[in-house]
Amino acid sequence: MNALSSGLTVTGLRHAFGPHDVLADISFNLPRGRIGCLIGPSGCGKSTLLAMIGALAHPTHGHIHHDFRHPVFVFQDPCLLPWRNAADNIAFALKGSRIERRQHQQRACDLLRVVGLEPDDAGKFPHELSGGMRQRVALARALAVEPDLLLLDEPFSALDVGLRRQMQALVRRLISEHGLTALLVTHDLAEAVRMADRILVLTAKPARLAAGHDIARPFAQRDDGFVHAEVGRLLANPAIAAALAVEDMGHGEPT
Protein backbone atom coordinates (compact mmCIF):
# COMPACT_ATOMS: atom_id res chain seq x y z
CA MET A 1 0.00 0.00 0.00
CA ASN A 2 1.62 3.35 -0.98
CA ALA A 3 1.40 6.59 0.98
CA LEU A 4 -1.43 7.91 -1.19
CA SER A 5 -3.68 4.89 -0.65
CA SER A 6 -4.42 5.35 3.03
CA GLY A 7 -7.10 8.03 2.88
CA LEU A 8 -7.83 11.20 0.97
CA THR A 9 -5.16 13.35 -0.67
CA VAL A 10 -5.93 16.62 -2.45
CA THR A 11 -3.07 18.16 -4.41
CA GLY A 12 -2.87 21.58 -6.05
CA LEU A 13 -6.60 21.80 -6.59
CA ARG A 14 -7.84 24.83 -8.52
CA HIS A 15 -11.24 25.51 -9.94
CA ALA A 16 -13.00 28.27 -11.80
CA PHE A 17 -16.63 28.65 -12.83
CA GLY A 18 -16.19 30.45 -16.16
CA PRO A 19 -13.96 33.48 -15.48
CA HIS A 20 -14.50 33.27 -11.70
CA ASP A 21 -11.78 31.57 -9.66
CA VAL A 22 -13.30 29.69 -6.73
CA LEU A 23 -10.54 27.40 -5.48
CA ALA A 24 -7.03 28.82 -5.79
CA ASP A 25 -4.61 26.13 -4.69
CA ILE A 26 -5.80 23.56 -2.18
CA SER A 27 -3.65 20.71 -0.90
CA PHE A 28 -4.30 18.56 2.15
CA ASN A 29 -4.65 15.00 3.24
CA LEU A 30 -7.01 13.19 5.56
CA PRO A 31 -5.95 9.77 6.84
CA ARG A 32 -8.47 6.93 6.73
CA GLY A 33 -10.62 6.68 9.84
CA ARG A 34 -10.39 10.40 10.66
CA ILE A 35 -12.89 13.24 10.65
CA GLY A 36 -11.87 16.37 8.75
CA CYS A 37 -13.76 19.65 9.00
CA LEU A 38 -13.72 22.22 6.20
CA ILE A 39 -14.49 25.68 7.53
CA GLY A 40 -14.38 29.03 5.76
CA PRO A 41 -16.45 32.08 4.92
CA SER A 42 -19.72 31.76 3.07
CA GLY A 43 -19.25 31.28 -0.66
CA CYS A 44 -15.54 30.42 -0.44
CA GLY A 45 -15.99 27.09 -2.20
CA LYS A 46 -16.45 24.49 0.57
CA SER A 47 -19.38 22.74 -1.12
CA THR A 48 -17.61 22.87 -4.47
CA LEU A 49 -14.58 21.17 -2.93
CA LEU A 50 -16.76 18.53 -1.26
CA ALA A 51 -18.59 17.88 -4.56
CA MET A 52 -15.25 17.33 -6.27
CA ILE A 53 -14.08 14.89 -3.62
CA GLY A 54 -17.35 12.99 -4.15
CA ALA A 55 -16.81 13.10 -7.94
CA LEU A 56 -19.96 15.17 -8.53
CA ALA A 57 -17.79 17.82 -10.21
CA HIS A 58 -14.31 17.94 -11.71
CA PRO A 59 -11.58 20.47 -10.89
CA THR A 60 -10.01 22.69 -13.51
CA HIS A 61 -6.52 21.70 -12.21
CA GLY A 62 -5.04 19.42 -9.60
CA HIS A 63 -5.69 15.96 -8.28
CA ILE A 64 -7.89 14.18 -5.79
CA HIS A 65 -6.76 10.73 -4.79
CA HIS A 66 -8.53 8.35 -2.47
CA ASP A 67 -9.17 4.66 -2.10
CA PHE A 68 -12.74 4.85 -0.80
CA ARG A 69 -15.26 2.67 -2.60
CA HIS A 70 -18.52 4.20 -1.39
CA PRO A 71 -18.50 7.93 -0.72
CA VAL A 72 -21.93 9.18 0.35
CA PHE A 73 -23.27 12.71 0.85
CA VAL A 74 -25.48 14.07 3.63
CA PHE A 75 -26.75 17.60 3.04
CA GLN A 76 -28.39 20.26 5.21
CA ASP A 77 -31.68 19.39 3.51
CA PRO A 78 -32.39 15.70 4.25
CA CYS A 79 -33.94 15.37 0.73
CA LEU A 80 -36.40 12.61 1.72
CA LEU A 81 -39.03 11.43 -0.75
CA PRO A 82 -42.25 12.95 0.66
CA TRP A 83 -44.48 10.15 -0.65
CA ARG A 84 -42.51 7.39 1.10
CA ASN A 85 -42.47 6.74 4.82
CA ALA A 86 -39.21 6.72 6.79
CA ALA A 87 -38.54 2.98 6.33
CA ASP A 88 -39.38 3.14 2.62
CA ASN A 89 -37.03 6.09 2.12
CA ILE A 90 -34.24 3.88 3.43
CA ALA A 91 -35.42 0.74 1.63
CA PHE A 92 -35.33 2.75 -1.61
CA ALA A 93 -31.59 3.30 -1.07
CA LEU A 94 -31.14 -0.47 -0.64
CA LYS A 95 -32.35 -1.18 -4.18
CA GLY A 96 -29.46 -2.62 -6.14
CA SER A 97 -27.53 -3.44 -2.95
CA ARG A 98 -26.30 -6.92 -2.10
CA ILE A 99 -29.13 -7.21 0.45
CA GLU A 100 -32.05 -9.36 -0.73
CA ARG A 101 -35.22 -7.43 -1.50
CA ARG A 102 -37.32 -9.29 1.11
CA GLN A 103 -34.89 -8.10 3.80
CA HIS A 104 -35.01 -4.42 2.84
CA GLN A 105 -37.76 -3.46 5.31
CA GLN A 106 -36.03 -5.22 8.19
CA ARG A 107 -32.69 -3.63 7.31
CA ALA A 108 -34.38 -0.21 7.07
CA CYS A 109 -35.93 -0.67 10.53
CA ASP A 110 -32.56 -1.79 11.93
CA LEU A 111 -30.93 1.35 10.55
CA LEU A 112 -33.65 3.55 12.01
CA ARG A 113 -32.87 2.06 15.40
CA VAL A 114 -29.14 2.67 14.86
CA VAL A 115 -29.81 6.39 14.40
CA GLY A 116 -32.01 6.55 17.49
CA LEU A 117 -35.53 6.44 16.05
CA GLU A 118 -38.37 4.34 17.51
CA PRO A 119 -40.06 1.41 15.71
CA ASP A 120 -43.22 3.57 15.45
CA ASP A 121 -41.31 6.17 13.43
CA ALA A 122 -40.73 3.71 10.56
CA GLY A 123 -44.24 4.26 9.18
CA LYS A 124 -44.21 8.03 9.48
CA PHE A 125 -43.95 10.22 6.40
CA PRO A 126 -41.41 13.06 6.24
CA HIS A 127 -44.06 15.71 7.05
CA GLU A 128 -44.85 13.80 10.26
CA LEU A 129 -41.22 13.92 11.44
CA SER A 130 -39.35 16.79 13.14
CA GLY A 131 -36.31 18.34 11.45
CA GLY A 132 -33.97 16.34 13.67
CA MET A 133 -35.86 13.10 12.95
CA ARG A 134 -35.72 13.75 9.20
CA GLN A 135 -31.97 14.29 9.45
CA ARG A 136 -31.67 10.97 11.34
CA VAL A 137 -33.55 9.24 8.51
CA ALA A 138 -31.17 10.86 6.01
CA LEU A 139 -28.23 9.50 8.02
CA ALA A 140 -29.79 6.03 8.14
CA ARG A 141 -30.29 6.18 4.37
CA ALA A 142 -26.63 7.17 3.95
CA LEU A 143 -25.54 4.20 6.08
CA ALA A 144 -27.76 1.87 4.03
CA VAL A 145 -25.32 1.96 1.14
CA GLU A 146 -22.50 0.85 3.47
CA PRO A 147 -20.31 3.89 2.82
CA ASP A 148 -16.68 4.19 3.75
CA LEU A 149 -16.49 7.97 3.25
CA LEU A 150 -19.13 10.37 4.61
CA LEU A 151 -19.26 13.78 2.91
CA LEU A 152 -21.32 15.96 5.22
CA ASP A 153 -22.35 19.38 3.89
CA GLU A 154 -23.61 21.37 6.89
CA PRO A 155 -25.96 18.58 7.95
CA PHE A 156 -26.69 20.15 11.36
CA SER A 157 -26.96 23.83 10.48
CA ALA A 158 -30.79 23.90 10.33
CA LEU A 159 -31.09 22.32 13.81
CA ASP A 160 -31.29 24.10 17.16
CA VAL A 161 -28.35 23.93 19.56
CA GLY A 162 -29.63 20.95 21.59
CA LEU A 163 -30.47 18.85 18.56
CA ARG A 164 -27.25 19.82 16.89
CA ARG A 165 -25.27 18.53 19.86
CA GLN A 166 -27.20 15.24 19.78
CA MET A 167 -26.58 14.83 16.07
CA GLN A 168 -22.89 15.66 16.40
CA ALA A 169 -22.54 12.95 19.05
CA LEU A 170 -24.53 10.48 16.94
CA VAL A 171 -22.44 11.08 13.81
CA ARG A 172 -19.22 10.78 15.77
CA ARG A 173 -20.41 7.49 17.27
CA LEU A 174 -21.47 6.12 13.86
CA ILE A 175 -18.16 7.11 12.29
CA SER A 176 -16.28 5.35 15.04
CA GLU A 177 -18.49 2.22 15.17
CA HIS A 178 -18.63 1.78 11.38
CA GLY A 179 -14.95 2.59 10.81
CA LEU A 180 -15.79 5.49 8.48
CA THR A 181 -13.80 8.48 7.32
CA ALA A 182 -15.67 11.79 7.14
CA LEU A 183 -15.29 15.28 5.77
CA LEU A 184 -17.69 17.80 7.32
CA VAL A 185 -18.39 21.28 5.98
CA THR A 186 -19.37 23.73 8.69
CA HIS A 187 -19.50 27.48 9.39
CA ASP A 188 -19.11 26.87 13.09
CA LEU A 189 -15.62 26.72 14.58
CA ALA A 190 -16.96 25.26 17.86
CA GLU A 191 -18.60 22.46 15.88
CA ALA A 192 -15.30 21.83 14.07
CA VAL A 193 -13.44 21.65 17.40
CA ARG A 194 -16.06 19.28 18.77
CA MET A 195 -16.08 16.99 15.73
CA ALA A 196 -12.72 17.05 13.94
CA ASP A 197 -9.46 15.24 14.08
CA ARG A 198 -8.21 17.73 11.48
CA ILE A 199 -9.58 21.23 10.87
CA LEU A 200 -8.94 22.76 7.45
CA VAL A 201 -9.53 26.53 7.39
CA LEU A 202 -10.16 28.06 3.98
CA THR A 203 -9.78 31.73 3.06
CA ALA A 204 -12.43 33.75 1.25
CA LYS A 205 -12.88 33.06 -2.45
CA PRO A 206 -10.74 32.14 -4.29
CA ALA A 207 -10.10 29.73 -1.43
CA ARG A 208 -6.66 28.76 -0.23
CA LEU A 209 -5.83 26.74 2.82
CA ALA A 210 -5.28 29.34 5.56
CA ALA A 211 -4.39 26.73 8.18
CA GLY A 212 -4.59 23.07 9.05
CA HIS A 213 -4.96 22.15 12.70
CA ASP A 214 -5.06 18.70 14.29
CA ILE A 215 -6.95 18.01 17.50
CA ALA A 216 -5.61 15.00 19.36
CA ARG A 217 -7.93 15.06 22.40
CA PRO A 218 -10.40 12.13 22.40
CA PHE A 219 -13.97 13.14 21.56
CA ALA A 220 -15.31 12.07 24.93
CA GLN A 221 -13.01 14.59 26.62
CA ARG A 222 -14.06 17.58 24.50
CA ASP A 223 -16.28 19.30 27.02
CA ASP A 224 -17.52 22.90 26.76
CA GLY A 225 -14.45 24.24 28.58
CA PHE A 226 -12.09 22.55 26.12
CA VAL A 227 -14.14 23.69 23.11
CA HIS A 228 -14.19 27.34 24.31
CA ALA A 229 -10.47 27.31 25.01
CA GLU A 230 -9.56 25.65 21.71
CA VAL A 231 -11.74 28.07 19.71
CA GLY A 232 -9.93 30.93 21.48
CA ARG A 233 -6.54 29.40 20.69
CA LEU A 234 -7.44 28.96 17.04
CA LEU A 235 -8.76 32.50 16.70
CA ALA A 236 -5.53 33.83 18.20
CA ASN A 237 -3.88 32.65 14.98
CA PRO A 238 -4.08 35.73 12.69
CA ALA A 239 -4.38 33.60 9.54
CA ILE A 240 -7.41 31.77 10.96
CA ALA A 241 -8.99 34.92 12.41
CA ALA A 242 -8.63 36.71 9.07
CA ALA A 243 -10.03 33.75 7.10
CA LEU A 244 -13.04 33.41 9.37
CA ALA A 245 -13.74 37.15 9.80
CA VAL A 246 -13.97 36.67 13.57
CA GLU A 247 -16.25 39.62 14.19
CA ASP A 248 -19.02 37.35 12.88
CA MET A 249 -18.00 34.26 14.83
CA GLY A 250 -18.51 35.36 18.42
CA HIS A 251 -17.68 33.26 21.45
CA GLY A 252 -21.25 32.36 22.35
CA GLU A 253 -22.71 29.00 23.33
CA PRO A 254 -20.56 26.30 21.75
CA THR A 255 -22.70 24.14 19.49
Ligand X SMILES: Nc1ncnc2c1ncn2[C@@H]1O[C@H](COP(=O)(O)OP(=O)(O)OP(=O)(O)O)[C@@H](O)[C@H]1O
Please tell me whether residue 162 binds ligand X under the rule CB under 6 A.
no
Please tell me whether residue 42 binds ligand X under the rule CB under 6 A.
yes
Of 21 and 146, the one with the shorter C-beta distance to ligand X is 21
Please tell me whether residue 43 binds ligand X under the rule CB under 6 A.
yes
Of 40 and 126, the one with the shorter C-beta distance to ligand X is 40
Interacting positions 174-233 with ligand X (CB under 6 A): 205
Write the DSSP assignment of the chain as a string of letters: --GGGSEEEEEEEEEEETTEEEEEEEEEEEETT-EEEEE-STTSSHHHHHHHHTTSS--SEEEEEE--S-EEEEESS----TTS-HHHHHHHHHTTSSS-GGGHHHHHHHHHHHTT--GGGGG--GGGS-HHHHHHHHHHHHHHT--SEEEEESTTTTS-HHHHHHHHHHHHHHHHHTT-EEEEEES-HHHHHHH-SEEEEE-SSSEEEEEEEE--S-GGG--HHHHHHHHHHHHTSHHHHHHHTGGGT-S-S--
Please tell me whether residue 48 binds ligand X under the rule CB under 6 A.
yes
Q: How far is the CB of 228 from ligand X (least distance, A)?
A: 24
Which of 7, 36, 45, 71 is the binder for ligand X (CB under 6 A)?
Answer: 45
Which of 7, 26, 36, 47 is the binder for ligand X (CB under 6 A)?
Answer: 47
Please tell me whether residue 119 binds ligand X under the rule CB under 6 A.
no
Please tell me whether residue 44 binds ligand X under the rule CB under 6 A.
yes
Stretch in the footprint of ligand X (CB under 6 A) among 41-49, 84-92, 111-119, 240-248: 41-49
Please tell me whether residue 46 binds ligand X under the rule CB under 6 A.
yes
Give the residues lining the site for ligand X (CB under 6 A). Answer: 17, 22, 40, 42-48, 205
